Amino acid sequence: MDNNLLIEKTKAFVKEKCYGEGSGHDWYHIYRVYNTAKFIAEKEGGDLFIIEMTALLHDIDDWKFSEGTETDTTITERFLHSLNISQEIIYKIITIIKTMSFKGGVADSSQNTIEGMIVQDADRLDAIGAIGIARTFAYGGKKGKLIYEPSNNQLVDEKEYNEKGSNTSISHFYDKLLKIKDLMNTDTAKEIAIERHKFLENFLKEFLDEWNGVK
């Protein structure tokens, strides 16, 4: 089957699965990651088919939506086999998906291929800047987290983060978001991350200045 047709079938599959999801991991997140990954690939290279397919499928079996802390890729693998994609390509896609998640910034999520680096960078870029801030509060609300609680805003360790996430949406900035700029793999993503990181810092300053309502 033609690669373009495979990509279109994958888009339809993912959109059906994720459209309307309320935690910030919805179809529009995936589509942004897909577009960003293609943009980075234009400058950095790599197998575009693997990059596009991985970007589209990266959240289908994400660990954040299961009871455990590992990514079980059963649904993704079943779908890829239904497209009669070669086992070699399936292996490459699944390997990237299983190792790309942040997991507190402590667990090893290093990528050994340019394709993995690009998709991971694209996903991480969507976690910072204006969109990243919006997604943080959407995810926090979905999980019943307070926006901010000065008396309970301590950072969590890797185990706690994987099990329960950050204590509040604002502490999530310190547990994860402010670390992301320095975790980029490609030069292209590093350049984009600089401005988005500054936006995070400016937002936090404004938020904390306004917290007591007397700025």
77-81, 89-93, 156-160, range with the lowest pLDDT = 156-160
Answer with the residue of higher pLDDT: 215 or 30. Answer: 30
Is residue 170 within 8 Å of 204, Cβ to Cβ? yes
Summarised one tens digit per residue, pLDDT across range 115-145 is 999 999 999 999 999 999 999 999 998 889 8
Is residue 126 within 8 Å of 132, Cβ to Cβ? yes
Q: Comparing C-alpha atoms, which of 34, 40, 197 is closest to residue 128?
A: 197
When mean pLDDT is compared over 22-26, 75-79, 148-152, the highest value belongs to 75-79
User: Torsions phi, psi of 173, nearest 5?
Assistant: -60, -40
| pLDDT of 153 above 70 | no
